C-alpha cells in the first residue's frame, strides 16, 4: 500500500498513555507531525500544546478512566487506529527493600493499565478495520537489573502480554508489538538517580556504558514507535523491538 512518506499517519487516530512527558510526549508530537490526531491520557497535562493533540486527564490504572478515554475517542472521531500504552513508573528497590504498596502501584500502572486500555480500545479498533497497539516494555523486561524487581517483573509481563495479544487479535487485523528501550534521558531516568541517592550526571554517565556510548533521546524511541504504528511495519506483530544503543548486545 502506497503511503505519504511525510505523513504516514494521515487520517489516523491515536491514543497515547503517559503522553505528557518523556517518550510519550516525544511520540505525541511526532505522531501529530506525521498526520495523526492524538489523544493523550495522563494525570498531568502536557506542557506544550498542538492543534492535533488533545489531553484527557486519566488514571490509566482505573477502569472507568480508561473506558472514558476510549468513549471520548468514539464520540469525537468514531474510530481508533493506534494505541500506544506508554504510561509507566519505576521504584528502585530489591525484594527486601520494596513496600507492598509500591509493588502494587508499579504493577497497576505498568501492566494493568495496558490490559484495561486494550480491553476498551480493541472493540473500537476492530470496528475501524484494524490497527496497531504498541506497548512500552524495556530492556529490563528481557534481562534483569539491580534493585528494580517490580519494574523488571512488570516489563517482563508486558513482553508476554504483547505476544499473547498478537496471537489473539491478528484475525481482527490488529497488530500488537512492544518496544524495549534502553536508558533514555527522561524525567523518569533522572528520578531513578534520586531514588538511589546517586548524582544525576554520574548516573547518566554510567548508563551510557553501551556500544553507542550514550543514553537515548526520547525522540529516537518515538521514531521506533512510529515505525510500529505505521504501515511500514504491516507484517510485524508479536515482536519486542529493542532500541537501546546496543545495551542488550553487550556493555563496553
Active-site residue, selected from the candidate residues 151, 154, 178, 203: 151
User: Distance between CA atoms of 221 and 24, rounded to whole angstroms?
Assistant: 9
Taken in order 62, 67, 72, 73, is the CA torsion positive or negative? positive
Give yes or no for a contact between 138 and 209, defined as CB atoms under 8 angstroms apart. no
Give the residues across from 17 on adjacent strands: 41
Q: Which residues contact 156 (CB under 8 A, 6 or more apart)?
A: 141, 142
- Residue 151 annotated as catalytic: yes
- CA dist list (Å): 47 to 50, 153, 210: 10, 31, 31
| Residue where the block lists cell 476492530 | 126
Give the residues across from 175 on adjacent strands: 132
Instruction: Give the catalytic positions in this structure.
Output: 151
Amino acid at each position: 500500500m502506497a503511503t505519504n512518506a511525510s505523513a504516514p499517519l494521515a487520517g489516523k487516530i491515536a491514543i497515547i498513555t503517559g503522553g505528557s512527558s518523556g517518550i510519550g510526549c516525544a511520540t505525541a508530537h511526532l505522531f501529530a507531525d506525521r498526520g495523526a490526531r492524538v489523544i493523550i491520557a495522563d494525570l498531568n497535562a502536557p506542557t506544550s500544546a498542538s492543534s492535533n493533540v488533545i489531553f484527557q486527564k486519566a488514571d490509566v490504572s482505573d477502569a472507568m478512566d480508561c473506558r472514558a478515554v476510549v468513549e471520548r475517542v468514539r464520540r469525537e472521531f468514531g474510530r481508533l487506529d493506534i494505541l500506544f500504552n506508554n504510561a509507566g513508573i519505576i521504584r528502585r528497590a530489591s525484594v527486601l527493600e520494596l513496600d507492598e504498596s509500591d509493588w502494587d502501584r508499579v504493577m497497576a500502572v505498568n501492566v494493568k493499565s495496558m490490559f484495561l486500555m486494550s480491553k476498551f480500545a480493541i472493540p473500537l479498533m476492530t470496528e475501524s478495520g484494524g490497527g496497531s497497539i504498541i506497548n512500552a516494555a524495556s530492556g529490563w523486561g528481557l534481562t534483569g537489573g539491580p534493585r528494580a524487581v517490580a519494574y523488571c517483573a512488570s516489563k517482563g509481563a508486558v513482553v508476554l502480554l504483547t505476544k499473547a495479544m498478537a496471537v489473539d487479535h491478528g484475525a481482527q487485523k490488529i497488530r500488537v508489538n512492544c518496544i524495549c528501550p534502553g536508558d533514555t534521558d527522561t524525567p523518569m531516568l533522572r528520578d531513578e538517580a534520586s531514588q538511589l541517592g546517586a548524582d544525576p550526571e554520574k548516573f547518566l554517565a554510567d548508563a551510557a556504558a553501551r556500544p553507542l556510548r550514550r543514553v537515548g533521546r526520547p525522540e529516537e524511541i518515538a521514531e521506533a514507535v512510529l515505525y510500529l504504528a505505521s504501515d511500514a511495519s504491516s507484517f510485524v506483530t508479536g515482536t519486542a523491538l529493542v532500541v537501546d544503543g546496543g545495551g542488550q548486545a553487550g556493555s563496553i
